[in-house]
């Protein structure tokens, strides 16, 4: 290299700006995420040593911030007990009769599963109901029968409007539902999914419904010799105008059992006391749990660390509380909730809603944080729950005062049912998730496709701590605004007297 070239190269290097030094907030957020998503916490699975380490770490942080224990349960302090019921399928058995003749089918060609510990349906007549699309069938037509349903929907039918068709048929009185699968879903796929353990909160009513699944080829063997001898004939009938359910001339016996395990776990609840608790309270939520070990051998890394989902949310919640604790006391109490069992079906939020520390109607607003740190700071803000609560006007005002913009449309609402907000909304608590990460739907969807619920969700270069700090500042302003009865009167619109002996 000539002297001139060397000089030019040195000048180019000198002209490059020095890397931006992380702020103290960004450094603290990184420490939280790297700690909570470390292998030492073993994936934060409920009921394990990973839970103990997670809750101990968070409780220590919250205590140091100056929070008070928030369960309002004598003797429980910070930790609200939640008992989960895990049920894992064990036995699957089915047999069929055509008149008085037993129908011989290949072994394990019908998969049967129950939501209960043991369910049995014997010699029940089988009724074909086509696609079982809306409107619902009358109870008298379904009672005492095994309903046979096509897995597909009619052309042009809206899956969202039809929802859980099997569940609706069982609720309407069917003894069991036998689904004839189509080309989109094989029996192996169903078995792989339904053999996983299912979870519920202890005390929740758990039915003993039976669902069964059969391939078209096996269904053809079953139907042979009946008036409708093939699945193709069933499909033609279901597509015909004026289709009405009809008996198949078959009876079925189904049996399924499950193994039950009980898991003792906890929600963590703290609060910053306000000057005027009678004016209601604000709630901030982030789930602490993840899947533990979820990778399959022979992979070297089998731990699902859950850095983005949801060590990031816990970090944002904790640092939001720290900033608020250093400021002037707010009018309303602000509760902070780290939920268990979110990954198992939003179960910690469900337990909180059933046994809240204060009546749920005292919460004027709630804000969930789940999977942040995906985008740089300064971008548009997304609202999961936009248009579904009365919170929108003040959220828009806060964002505007911060010289930020909300994303147009309601694209983030695609995630409304997949996070803890959904449970509280079902209990009439106005709850949303407001984040810059949900202002970039392309980035969220890439995360879901590439990293979500995989061992690759680790504390590394893929997390933007400046963007996460951006979300902390946003949550601080939102909680301050909604904790102020003058800016957000709440449900009653009244502001009762202040707590005595407060500044």
Domain borders along the chain are 24-83+265-482, 86-260
* Token pair of 174 as six digits: 């069917």
- Cα 15 from chain centroid? 48
- pLDDT of amino acid 491: 67
Place of tokens 């942080």: 61
Class of domain 24-83+265-482: alpha beta
Rounded CA-CA distance 240/130 in Å is 10
Angle of CA points 24, 52, 351, to nearest 5°: 100
- Which of 327, 269, 225, 344 minimizes the C-alpha distance to 67? 269
281-287 and 176-180 beta bridge pairing: unpaired
- pLDDT of amino acid 9: 54
Residue bearing the bigger pLDDT, 18 or 337? 337
Residue bearing the bigger pLDDT, 322 or 500? 322
Angle of CA points 187, 244, 99, to nearest 5°: 65
The arrangement of secondary structure in 86-260, i.e. its CATH architecture, is 3-Layer(bba) Sandwich (3.50)
**pTM of structure:** 0.84
Rounded CA-CA distance 335/491 in Å is 18
Rounded CA-CA distance 126/144 in Å is 9
431-435 and 363-368 beta bridge pairing: parallel
Q: How far is CA 112 from CA 7, 178, 218, 230, 252, in A?
A: 76, 9, 14, 22, 12
- pLDDT of amino acid 500: 36
The answer, yes or no, to whether the previous bond of 310 is cis (omega within 30 of 0) is: yes
Rounded CA-CA distance 125/163 in Å is 25
For CA atoms 362, 485, 312, 409, give the dihedral sign: positive
The predicted-structure confidence for 9-39, as pLDDT tens digits, reads as follows 555 555 566 677 999 999 999 999 999 999 9
In order, the DSSP letters of 371-436 are S---S-TTS-BEEETTTSSTTHHHHHHHHHHTT--BPSSSGGGGGGGGSTHHHHHHTT--EEEEES
The predicted-structure confidence for 124-172, as pLDDT tens digits, reads as follows 999 999 998 866 677 788 999 999 999 988 887 777 677 889 999 999 9
The model's confidence at residue 194, banded by pLDDT at 50, 70 and 90, is confident
The model's confidence at residue 261, banded by pLDDT at 50, 70 and 90, is very high
Q: Which of 182-186, 211-215, 240-244, 390-394 has the lowest mean pLDDT?
A: 182-186
- pLDDT of amino acid 91: 95
Mean pLDDT of 386-411: 97
The predicted-structure confidence for 346-360, as pLDDT tens digits, reads as follows 999 999 999 999 999
The predicted-structure confidence for 67-80, as pLDDT tens digits, reads as follows 999 998 888 889 99
- pLDDT of amino acid 498: 38
- pLDDT of amino acid 470: 97
Q: How far is CA 479 from CA 105, 173, 285, 300, 335, in A?
A: 62, 46, 12, 42, 10
The predicted-structure confidence for 437-487, as pLDDT tens digits, reads as follows 999 999 999 999 999 999 999 998 789 999 999 999 999 999 999 999 999
Rounded CA-CA distance 149/96 in Å is 16
- pLDDT of amino acid 205: 62
- Which of 212, 235, 85 minimizes the C-alpha distance to 153? 235
- pLDDT of amino acid 240: 93
Place of tokens 């101990």: 56
Cβ within 8 Å of residue 198, ≥6 positions away: 86, 87, 88, 115
Q: Which of 20-34, 113-127, 198-212 has the lowest mean pLDDT?
A: 198-212
The model's confidence at residue 219, banded by pLDDT at 50, 70 and 90, is very high
For the cut 70, the answer to whether the pLDDT of residue 7 exceeds it is no
Averaged confidence pLDDT in the chain: 91
- Which of 430, 307, 439 minimizes the C-alpha distance to 366? 430
Percent of the chain with pLDDT over 90: 79
For the cut 50, the answer to whether the pLDDT of residue 502 exceeds it is no
Q: Which residues of 268-304 are buried (b: 16+ CB within 10 A; e: fewer)?
A: bbbbbbbbbbbbbbbbbbbbbbbbbebbeeeeeeebb
Q: Which of 135-144, 258-267, 368-377, 379-388 has the lowest mean pLDDT?
A: 135-144
Using DSSP, state whether 253 is helix, strand or coil.
strand
- pLDDT of amino acid 351: 97
Place of tokens 């909304």: 425
């Amino acid at each position: 290299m000539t002297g001139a070239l060397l000089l030019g190269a040195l000048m180019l290097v000198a002209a490059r700006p020095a890397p931006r030094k992380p702020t103290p907030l960004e450094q603290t957020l990184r420490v939280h995420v790297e700690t909570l998503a470390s292998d030492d916490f073993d994936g934060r699975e409920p009921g394990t040593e990973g839970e103990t380490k997670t809750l101990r770490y968070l409780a220590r942080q919250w205590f140091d911030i100056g929070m008070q224990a928030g369960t309002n349960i004598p003797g429980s302090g910070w930790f609200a007990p939640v008992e989960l019921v895990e049920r894992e399928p064990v036995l699957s058995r089915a047999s069929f009769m055509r008149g008085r003749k037993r129908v011989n089918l290949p072994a394990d060609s019908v998969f049967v599963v129950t939501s209960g510990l043991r369910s049995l349906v014997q010699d029940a007549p089988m009724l074909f109901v086509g696609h079982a699309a809306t409107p619902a069938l009358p109870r008298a037509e379904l009672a005492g029968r095994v309903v046979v349903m096509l897995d597909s929907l009619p052309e042009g039918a809206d899956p969202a409007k039809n929802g859980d068709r099997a569940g609706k048929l069982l609720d309407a009185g069917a003894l069991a539902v036998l689904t004839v699968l189509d080309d989109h879903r094989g029996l192996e796929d169903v078995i792989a999914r339904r053999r996983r353990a299912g979870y519920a909160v202890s005390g929740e009513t758990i039915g003993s419904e039976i669902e069964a699944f059969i391939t078209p080829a096996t269904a053809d063997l079953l139907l042979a010799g009946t008036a409708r001898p093939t699945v193709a004939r069933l499909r033609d009938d279901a597509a015909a105008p004026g289709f009405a359910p009809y008996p198949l001339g078959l009876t079925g016996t189904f049996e399924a059992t499950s193994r039950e395990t009980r898991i003792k776990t906890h929600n963590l609840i703290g609060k910053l006391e306000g000057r005027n608790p009678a004016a209601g309270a604000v709630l901030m939520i982030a789930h602490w749990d993840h899947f533990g070990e979820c990778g399959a051998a022979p992979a070297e890394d089998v731990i699902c660390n859950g850095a983005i989902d949801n060590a990031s949310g816990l970090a944002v919640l904790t640092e939001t509380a720290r900033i608020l604790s250093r400021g002037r006391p707010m009018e309303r109490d602000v509760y902070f909730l780290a939920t268990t069992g979110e990954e198992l079906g939003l179960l910690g939020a469900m337990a909180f809603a059933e046994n809240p520390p204060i009546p749920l109607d005292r919460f004027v607003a709630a804000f969930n944080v789940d999977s942040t740190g995906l985008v740089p700071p300064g971008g548009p803000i997304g609202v999961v729950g936009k248009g579904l609560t009365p919170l929108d006007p003040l959220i828009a005002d806060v964002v505007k005062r911060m010289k930020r913009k909300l994303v147009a449309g309601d694209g983030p609402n695609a995630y409304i049912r997949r996070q803890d907000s959904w449970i509280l909304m079902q209990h009439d608590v106005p709850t949303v998730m407001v984040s810059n990460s949900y202002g970039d739907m392309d980035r969220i969807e890439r995360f879901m496709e590439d990293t979500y619920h995989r061992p690759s969700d680790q504390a590394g270069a893929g997390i933007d701590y400046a963007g996460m700090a951006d979300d902390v500042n946003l949550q601080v302003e939102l909680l301050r605004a909604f904790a102020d009865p003058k800016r957000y009167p709440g449900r009653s619109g009244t502001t009762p007297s202040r707590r005595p002996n407060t500044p």
